[in-house]
Homo-oligomer: A and B are copies of this chain.
């Protein structure tokens, strides 16, 4: 697929997701206005909206109505942006720059950042459990469960805990794989799975998409590590070379730049192979896999 076509599809999806988030998260008139502003600052900041895009692309495989997929994708973006806000806190990774702007606790304060993160996480579940997301309760409940499992202590939060402890004690290769699968991979898998849940996909189709998402997640993470080593602050919108500074265990540190790049490309190809049954309907999912390893931001 032409990279321009992917690029415009991603832009369109991103705008649609932002419109939904803009509509849902409205400034209140009370003393909590600052919280609402902070939530908007975090979730509506410039970004790829990769996770919602994955939901939208996976839902397209099953001809799910687009507004439903966009709304569900918005919930995934809430979880992703909450995780960035909390990870950036002084007690965690202590980052000042995110998506080209001051991190939330720099723009506001720590208390506001903690609460805005909490509120975005909670909002994700409010969004997917609302009848507007799906008239079928089975779908809504399953979306809640999919998101909660991926985001919780056996997924994303657990991965962040391991990552923090790894700054003190370097991890072995298998432990890095497990940490990354939990920290980044689980929510990427959930983003794809959410599309399958909306589409009430067969077990076989879900399995194929899950294999795709797992490979994509690792490829994406390796590409992220490479950007940290080789990217510029201007292009990535965040501080670079910080993994090494923080003594973090990454794939690039483990494999070296060249092997890491080969591994990412190999995983993207492998991800695409799992989409064989979906024909043309999976064109965008295939393009995303190429994008994940060839991006500059």
Residue numbers of A with Cβ under 8 A of B are 25, 28, 30-32, 34-36, 39, 82, 86, 89, 91-92, 109-112, 114-115, 117-119, 121-123, 125-126, 128-130, 136-138, 140-142, 144-145, 147-149, 151-154, 157-162, 164-166, 169, 171, 175, 178-179, 182
Contact = CB atoms under 8 A, between A and B. Distances in A.
A137 B142 CA distance: 8
A153 B164 CA distance: 28
B122 A148 contact: yes
B129 A145 contact: yes
Given A140-B144, A148-B123, A179 B111 contact: no
Contacts of A152: 119, 122-123, 126
Given A34-B165, A118-B86, A144 B158 contact: no
How many copies the complex holds: the figure is 2
Contact of A125 (B91, B115, B144, B157): B144
Given A36-B153, A140-B144, 15 more contacts: A30-B162, A31-B166, A31-B179, A32-B162, A35-B153, A39-B153, A86-B114, A91-B109, A92-B111, A111-B164, A115-B164, A118-B118, A118-B121, A122-B151, A123-B148
A50 to B, nearest CB: 21
B119 A91 contact: no
Contacts of A34: 161, 165
Contacts of A161: 31-32, 34-35, 112, 115
**Interface residues of A: mostly helix, strand, loop or mixed?**
helix
A171 B137 contact: no
B112 A89 contact: no
A136 B138 CA distance: 8
A34 B111 CA distance: 24
Nearest to A166: B31
A183 B22 CA distance: 24
A147 B122 CA distance: 9
A179 B28 CA distance: 13
Q: Across chains A and B, which 4 residue pairs bring their CB atoms closest together, nearest first? A: A91-B110, A126-B148, A129-B144, A119-B153
A50 B250 CA distance: 45
Nearest to A150: B122
Nearest to A149: B126
Contacts of A169: 31
14 contacts: A28-B154, A31-B166, A32-B162, A32-B182, A34-B161, A35-B161, A86-B115, A91-B110, A115-B160, A118-B118, A118-B121, A125-B148, A130-B145, A137-B142
Contacts of A109: 91
Contacts of A142: 129, 137
Given A126-B152, A141-B140, A148-B125, A157 B35 contact: yes
